[in-house]
Structure 1
């Protein structure tokens, strides 16, 4: 029999025969046995004795984490929320404390949103729920899933509502990149192209607008294509990709003919334009456009 198994067997016997206080005192000076008992209690899920042990040993952070893990066994959202509330203020590290607080706040929000949306859906009076019935509850879902849900069903809501994506972003300090990525995925899935456009349009103090994408326009293009965006929409965003090689690759991959043609013209790359001519349909507007460019005397080709 392995030494560890012997220790565990002895500990089981002692656990049954000794009072907690005596057992804990004896183990305090026997670190190997103590580690085995902690492991054993975690294995069998004896949370109460484990908490008592950590309390006795004054291992406060482990005590807090062990108590916190109990929430995983609570299925009822209201009860889970109330239990998480008891975890706030326990002696966690600063990072863990923030995580527990966020988890409590998120579940609190989810319960409110879920009740409201279930009512809206069952009433049949809200278009978004009629067109796109919910596939699952958002209770106990991760933050990013909740944000996607909010961007899908509650995108235009004012910041003052719990289900507003902007409210979620501010409350949970969601980085711009993550917010934009999630909002883009949700609005593109709904084919809400105006919302997509607004997501990347910024205005400076002089009133000039420009497009800006914290995730990079190449990512925007990939997500738009995945959601079957029309070619006109794709072309607009492919054109915003700064790196020329990436732009050409994306334009070729997604058949954004005008972007490929215009880029080859701007690069004065006759050979690449000729090669691309063979990829467009015979007699198409694209072929005609290429022929006009190739026959132009205004362009000084580099090859």
Structure 2
């Protein structure tokens, strides 16, 4: 008997079936109540703007409609009366309103909503819209508003207003560069009196010129543009490089086609040298023309020869230094830099002490020579050379 009672206790405690209680959480009514509480909690999450929303029941019918009431009344279970009221947007997330303020318009654009900007007709409204876009720190919105202003404002008005709005101005300049609206970009830069940027923008046009002769003439014309001193030297180098490439290309193409050169027969050219970078041109020249006479030698009217670099010796020095050339080699080419200030800067930068010392000696600048003495090692040959020059009574120092 006790065994049977023990089995009965084990059944009720271990079985998946449980005894019925009035507090059972699994009955259908309790489940519906839980669903009602869960869905009603959505009211705290969604926007309470009743003007934009439509109330519907579980069946999808608008609340208060006769169809919905009848369907609920004749429902089989009747438990749908416990269902909460759900909401859905009336306009399917599209914006058909024309009453949005500039700030609201910008906010809706940031959320990806469709907004028409045509309602902003006056200049004041357009500028307020632009200022709100800038304040929102959203580049896409700023660009969209700028495109609208570019289309609806005269150029002089747009340029004048952007001149005092630097953030928007930078966005427009970047946009015009990306879209290739070169004429409008140049007009804007001229209005802002940014002459160097105008020159650089015009210089970039060479990228669109395919014919090398036309490109050469274009680059020659760019030399006269108002570049900075550093930039104008690069433009000059570019022009000189292309000019030399044209000569080399014409000569080598003729030799390759005629079969008169052994090196071109043994190692046929794989590409043209035109428009190649400087390093590629130097490699090409060394590979195909290494047996020819020194290309850097030029003869003057007295018959003397001197070294000449089409790209400028300051560039030669930089290339040599990047390729870890020894100081002795660097000094040889630093001495060939004609501009004294550039020569001193390069010699100081790359520790070509002899060049610095000799230059100050030639300038008869005793003060600078004494100051440079502190930059060389004590007891070195350079220090002895400086002391010898300073004690030389035959040098007429200017200071």
TM-score when normalising by structure 2: 0.42
CA distance in 2, matches of 1:14, 1:181: 49
1:28 maps to which residue?
Answer: 163
1:11 maps to which residue?
Answer: 146
Answer whether contact 1:147 1:165 (CA < 8 A) is retained: no
CA distance in 2, matches of 1:213, 1:46: 51
Gap regions ≥5 residues in structure 2: 1-109, 111-136, 299-306, 331-399
1:283 maps to which residue?
Answer: none
Further displaced range: 119-128 or 66-75: 66-75
2:173 maps to which residue?
Answer: 38
User: Is 2:305 the counterpart of 1:170?
Assistant: no
Residue among 186, 189, 194 paired with 1:54 = 189
1:204 maps to which residue?
Answer: none
Deviation at 1:33, TM superposition (A): 1.5
CA distance in 2, matches of 1:147, 1:166: 16
CA distance in 1, matches of 2:180, 2:248: 33
> Cα 1:20–1:86, aligned 2, differ >3 Å: closer, same or farther?
farther
CA distance in 1, matches of 2:183, 2:200: 13
Deviation at 1:165, TM superposition (A): 6.0
Answer whether contact 1:177 1:214 (CA < 8 A) is retained: no
CA distance in 1, matches of 2:141, 2:317: 55
Deviation at 1:111, TM superposition (A): 1.1
Q: How does 1:29-108 map to 2 (within 5 A)?
A: 29-108=164-243
User: Is 2:293 the counterpart of 1:152?
Assistant: no
Answer whether contact 2:143 2:175 (CA < 8 A) is retained: yes
Deviation at 1:176, TM superposition (A): 5.9
CA distance in 2, matches of 1:139, 1:166: 23
Aligned residue pair count:
184
> Cα 1:165–1:134, aligned 2, differ >3 Å: closer, same or farther?
farther
Deviation at 1:177, TM superposition (A): 8.3
CA distance in 1, matches of 2:282, 2:297: 9
Give the structure with higher Rg (CA).
2
* Secondary structure at 1:37 match in 2: helix
2:271 maps to which residue?
Answer: 136
Q: How does 1:173-184 map to 2 (within 5 A)?
A: 173=313, 174-175=315-316, 178=319
> Cα 1:16–1:73, aligned 2, differ >3 Å: closer, same or farther?
same
The CA deviation string for residues 100-141 of structure 1, in whole angstroms up to 9 with x for no partner, is 110011011111210111011000011121122112111111
> Cα 1:135–1:181, aligned 2, differ >3 Å: closer, same or farther?
farther
TM-score when normalising by structure 1: 0.54
Gap regions ≥5 residues in structure 1: 185-199, 201-211, 216-303
Deviation at 1:144, TM superposition (A): 1.7
RMSD value, Cα: 2.9
> Cα 1:30–1:46, aligned 2, differ >3 Å: closer, same or farther?
same
> Cα 1:51–1:32, aligned 2, differ >3 Å: closer, same or farther?
same
Which structure is higher in RCO with an 8 Å CA cutoff and minimum separation 6? Answer: 1
CA distance in 1, matches of 2:322, 2:267: 21
> Cα 1:166–1:17, aligned 2, differ >3 Å: closer, same or farther?
farther
